[in-house]
């Protein structure tokens, strides 16, 4: 048995290795094909003699060459992804699209050579011309529909998106077939008729395939958007990389179309940018899949924005200068190389201050609402004025600091007895690794770039730790800003600490009060009550010992005193119960609430979820709360029934006492309910009274009961 398992295991390892080797072979063969095709295209591009009205793809041979190389990136990154993750369809899509594009480019070059440059010299030139009609379609459909559908993990978002994939496949076939069979001359090659032109299909309007393709692209984009919205963490960052590449492509297309309108500068920029944009998509996908943790996309975006705006500005200035100089010189159009260089240099120098501004603007766009130090400080004071709650103040402070200086992360640490405790973080990403508690006054901990101490009258209250984007440091202004904020933060932190101390002290008071009441109750039962019972017993015995019918006056008086003592005892019992509900500590909360329900004059329904024993102060508070609420129901509500519900939700105990009475209850100062509100608040909970006139009364409370 064991032997067979071992053999089976070995066999499966061998099979896996074989499959892996086959996969790699296919991947490298795909890349090899693409490289061969690209090389052949480049050779043709160089050796083909210039011809008049040459049909180029982009308008010029050099740009055609650039695009050729750019499309190689598809095959290269595709093969790289396949080699490492052969299960991820993204790699195969790029590999396939890359080969498709190269086929298209090669077919085009070959047709140009065989039909225009050396007519009749190359075999199969007409076939190549026909291929240019449609061979680009598979690459397009792969890159624009299947890729967004399965990015980044190679799987469809869910089986429900399968129809979108099938539709994309259908669009591919319809588009390729309608374009491959368009009758008449082949576009770009006048005089060469489509060898497989089919009028019947051609009449079908070759636009149908295009429309289907556009619809498929929209569906795929929708899938990616849905994936982004649902995703978190890594998947989100991966999709942002791809989105960034696509956005870049979009910008480039804008530049190119401006260029095709005759703006020379935009044309030049487009010729450089377009191949880069093409190669950018597979590059971004590769980075997204393997290196998303290595580079900070935000930095890349910020640098791109700076660069893009600068290029645009320089272009505008260049055009302006050229137009002016051209008009002055009377020589419209061509400028000498020297003049172009001079203009560029002047623009570059003049725009250095602009560059700084642009970089700042780009940072602000990328990192959030950074403003001038004064604005940040003012905003800080304003927001702090708006909140008194310590739980709000610190996260707000972290956010203000973070947004103020463009940090990636801010942690606020509070000095508590025996060390530092992180009391706020920004952004509030629970996945963010929490840096280890830094030692006060020492160098910043790992992952922290700047630690600012918060002091109040010289006493260290806490620290503000900043993490900055890669490669960024605080400017002197920003550093001063953080220190100013830290000075203000002293007030906040000392407030927070005071509040924490106050909370603890209130809890101690409640606990002490409960303890005291319990002691008094015990003293009553074990001391006074015990003595009174003994006394009453003695009195009764004295009365009966003396008692021979008919009772004497003394016996009657002894009996009377004994009865009086018995009354006192009953009263004492009620009093003791009011001081401390012994039943809570002895029988537990459920038993205590049951006894309350039993004593209430109104029928009470109990909905108690079993809970473990809790802190005495919590249990006793719940008892007082229910007792007070039921007393109010009996006294004021004119209700026919009441409900007491108790359950535990995470680390909170929830209590609700509801009745179907007249409602309209108001907590008046000094009332039992007001006292209970304080008690519940002291335990860190809150109490709500909901009592619309005619709509019954609900008293709800939530008390933390962390285990």
Q: Is 631 a binder of another protein (CB under 8 A)?
A: no
Q: Is 334 a binder of another protein (CB under 8 A)?
A: no
Closest approach of another protein to the CB of residue 566, in Å: 5
Side-by-side strand order, sheet with 409-416: 419-426, 409-416, 459-467, 450-456
Distance CA 134, CA 176 (A): 5
Q: Is 530 a binder of another protein (CB under 8 A)?
A: yes
One-character DSSP codes across 37-50: HHHHHHHHHHHSPP
Q: Is 522 a binder of another protein (CB under 8 A)?
A: yes
Q: Is 529 a binder of another protein (CB under 8 A)?
A: yes
Closest approach of another protein to the CB of residue 643, in Å: 12
Say if residues 676 and 630 touch (Cβ distance below 8 Å).
no
Beta bridge partners of 455: 460
Residue environment code for 435-472, b if the CB has 16+ CB neighbours within 10 A, otherwise e: beebeeeeebbeebbbbbbbbbeeeebbbbbbbbbeeb
Locus of tokens 């932190």: 493
Stretch that binds another protein, among 343-351, 439-447, 532-540, 675-683 (CB under 8 A): 532-540
DSSP assignment, residue 188?
T
Distance CA 647, CA 609 (A): 5
Closest approach of another protein to the CB of residue 539, in Å: 8
Stretch that binds another protein, among 286-294, 358-366, 370-378, 590-598 (CB under 8 A): 590-598
Closer to another protein by Cβ: residue 173 or 608: 608
Query: According to CB under 8 A, which one of 62, 587, 610, 695 is a site residue for another protein?
Result: 587
Query: According to CB under 8 A, which one of 56, 585, 643, 671 is a site residue for another protein?
Result: 585
Closer to another protein by Cβ: residue 310 or 592: 592
Q: Is 507 a binder of another protein (CB under 8 A)?
A: no
Distance CA 528, CA 619 (A): 26
Closest approach of another protein to the CB of residue 535, in Å: 9
Query: According to CB under 8 A, which one of 264, 422, 517, 525 is a site residue for another protein?
Result: 525
Closer to another protein by Cβ: residue 250 or 560: 560
The site that binds another protein (CB under 8 A) totals a number of residues, namely 38
Beta bridge partners of 186: 189
Say if residues 88 and 289 touch (Cβ distance below 8 Å).
yes
Q: Is 591 a binder of another protein (CB under 8 A)?
A: yes
Tell me the three-class secondary structure of 604-640, residue by residue.
Answer: EEEEECCCCCCCHHHHHHHHHHHHHHHHHHHHHHCCC
Site track for another protein across 601-630, x = CB under 8 A: --xxx-------------------------
Query: According to CB under 8 A, which one of 417, 598, 668, 707 is a site residue for another protein?
Result: 598
Closer to another protein by Cβ: residue 2 or 586: 586
Q: Is 526 a binder of another protein (CB under 8 A)?
A: yes
Q: Is 654 a binder of another protein (CB under 8 A)?
A: no
Residue 31 CB neighbours (<10 A): 23
**Among residue numbers 18 through 37, which ones bind another protein (CB under 8 A)?**
none
**Pairing mode, strands 450-456 and 419-426:** unpaired
**Among residue numbers 542 through 581, which ones bind another protein (CB under 8 A)?**
544-545, 562, 565-566, 569-570, 573, 576-577
Closest approach of another protein to the CB of residue 575, in Å: 11
Beta strands in 431-490 (DSSP E): 450-456, 459-467
Query: According to CB under 8 A, which one of 358, 597, 646, 673 is a site residue for another protein?
Result: 597
Those residues whose C-beta lies under 8 Å from the C-beta of residue 400, and which sit 6 or more positions away, are: 376, 379, 380, 383, 485
Question: Alpha helix (H) ranges present in 146-263?
Answer: 147-150, 162-180, 199-202, 207-230, 234-260
**Is the peptide bond prior to 152 cis by the omega test (within 30 degrees of 0)?**
yes
Query: According to CB under 8 A, which one of 42, 263, 299, 583 is a site residue for another protein?
Result: 583
Distance CA 247, CA 23 (A): 33
Closest CA to 689 of 674, 706, 707, 705: 674
DSSP assignment, residue 460?
E
Closer to another protein by Cβ: residue 192 or 600: 600
Query: According to CB under 8 A, which one of 21, 84, 382, 599 is a site residue for another protein?
Result: 599
Residue 50 CB neighbours (<10 A): 7
Closest approach of another protein to the CB of residue 628, in Å: 19
Closest approach of another protein to the CB of residue 585, in Å: 7
| Side-chain-facing half-sphere of 630: CA atoms under 13 Å | 26
Closest approach of another protein to the CB of residue 521, in Å: 9
Closer to another protein by Cβ: residue 443 or 598: 598
Closest approach of another protein to the CB of residue 526, in Å: 6
Closest approach of another protein to the CB of residue 634, in Å: 14
Q: Is 533 a binder of another protein (CB under 8 A)?
A: yes
Q: Is 594 a binder of another protein (CB under 8 A)?
A: yes
Residue numbers at the binding site for another protein (CB under 8 A): 522, 525-526, 529-531, 533-534, 536-541, 544-545, 562, 565-566, 569-570, 573, 576-577, 582-583, 585-587, 591, 594-595, 597-599, 603-605
């Amino acid at each position: 048995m064991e032997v067979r398992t071992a053999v089976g295991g070995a066999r499966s390892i061998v099979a896996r290795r074989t499959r892996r080797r086959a996969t790699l072979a296919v991947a490298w063969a795909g890349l090899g094909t693409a490289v061969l095709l690209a090389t052949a295209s480049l050779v043709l591009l160089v050796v083909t003699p210039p011809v008049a009205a040459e049909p180029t793809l982009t308008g010029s041979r050099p740009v055609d060459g650039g695009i050729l190389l750019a499309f190689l990136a598809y095959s290269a990154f595709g093969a790289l992804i396949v080699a490492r993750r052969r299960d991820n369809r993204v790699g195969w899509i790029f590999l396939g699209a890359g080969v498709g594009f190269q086929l298209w480019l090669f077919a085009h070059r070959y047709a140009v050579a065989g039909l225009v440059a050396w007519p009749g010299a190359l075999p199969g030139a007409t076939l190549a011309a026909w291929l240019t009609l449609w061979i680009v379609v598979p690459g397009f459909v792969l890159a624009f529909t299947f890729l967004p559908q399965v990015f980044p993990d190679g799987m469809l978002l869910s089986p429900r998106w399968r129809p979108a994939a099938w539709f994309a496949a259908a669009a591919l076939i319809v588009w390729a077939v309608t374009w491959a069979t368009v009758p008449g001359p082949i576009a770009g090659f006048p005089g060469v008729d489509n060898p497989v032109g089919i009028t019947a299909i051609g009449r079908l309007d070759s636009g149908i395939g295009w429309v289907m393709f556009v619809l498929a692209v929209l569906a795929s984009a929708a899938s990616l958007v849905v994936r982004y919205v649902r995703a978190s963490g890594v998947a989100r960052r991966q999709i942002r990389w791809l989105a960034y590449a696509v956005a870049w492509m979009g910008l480039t297309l804008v530049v190119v179309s401006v260029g095709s309108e005759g703006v020379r500068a935009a044309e030049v920029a487009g010729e450089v940018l377009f191949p880069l944009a093409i190669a950018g998509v597979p590059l971004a996908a590769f980075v997204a899949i393997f290196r998303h943790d290595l580079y900070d996309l935000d930095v890349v975006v910020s640098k791109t924005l700076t660069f893009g705006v600068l290029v645009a500005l320089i272009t505008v200035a260049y055009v302006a200068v050229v137009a002016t100089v051209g008009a002055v010189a009377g020589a419209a159009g061509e400028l000498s190389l020297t003049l172009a260089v001079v203009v560029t240099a002047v623009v570059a120098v003049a725009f250095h201050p602009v560059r700084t501004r642009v970089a700042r603007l780009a940072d602000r766009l990328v990192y959030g609402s950074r403003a001038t130090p004064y604005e940040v400080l003012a905003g800080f004071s304003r927001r702090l004025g708006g909140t008194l709650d310590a739980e709000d103040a610190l996260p707000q402070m972290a956010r203000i600091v973070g947004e103020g200086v463009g940090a990636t992360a801010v942690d606020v640490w509070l000095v508590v007895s025996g060390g530092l405790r992180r009391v706020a973080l920004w952004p509030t990403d629970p996945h963010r690794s929490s840096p280890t508690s830094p030692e006060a006054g020492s160098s910043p901990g790992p992952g922290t770039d700047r630690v600012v101490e918060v002091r109040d009258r010289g006493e260290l209250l806490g620290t503000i730790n900043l993490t900055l984007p890669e490669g960024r440091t605080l400017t002197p202004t920003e550093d001063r800003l953080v220190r100013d904020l830290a000075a203000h933060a002293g007030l906040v932190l000392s407030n927070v600490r005071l509040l924490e101390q106050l909370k603890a002290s209130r809890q101690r008071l409640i606990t002490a009060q409960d303890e005291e009441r319990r002691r008094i109750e015990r003293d009553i039962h074990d001391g006074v009550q015990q003595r009174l019972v003994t006394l009453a017993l003695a009195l009764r015995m004295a009365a009966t010992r003396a008692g021979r019918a008919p009772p004497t006056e003394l016996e009657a008086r002894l009996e009377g005193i004994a009865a009086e003592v018995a009354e006192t005892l009953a009263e004492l019992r009620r009093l003791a119960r009011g001081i401390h509900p012994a039943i809570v500590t002895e029988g537990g909360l459920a038993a205590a609430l049951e006894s309350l329900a039993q004593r209430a004059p109104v029928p009470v329904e109990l909905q108690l979820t079993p809970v473990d024993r809790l802190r005495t102060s919590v249990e006793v508070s719940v008892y007082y709360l229910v007792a007070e609420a039921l007393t109010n129901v009996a006294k004021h509500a004119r209700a026919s029934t009441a409900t007491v519900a108790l359950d535990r939700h995470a680390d909170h105990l929830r209590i609700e006492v509801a009745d179907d009475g007249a409602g309209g209850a108001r907590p008046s100062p000094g009332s039992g309910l007001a006292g209970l509100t304080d008690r519940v608040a002291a335990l860190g909970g809150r109490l709500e009274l909901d009592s619309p006139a005619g709509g019954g009364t609900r008293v709800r409370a939530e008390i933390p009961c962390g285990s």
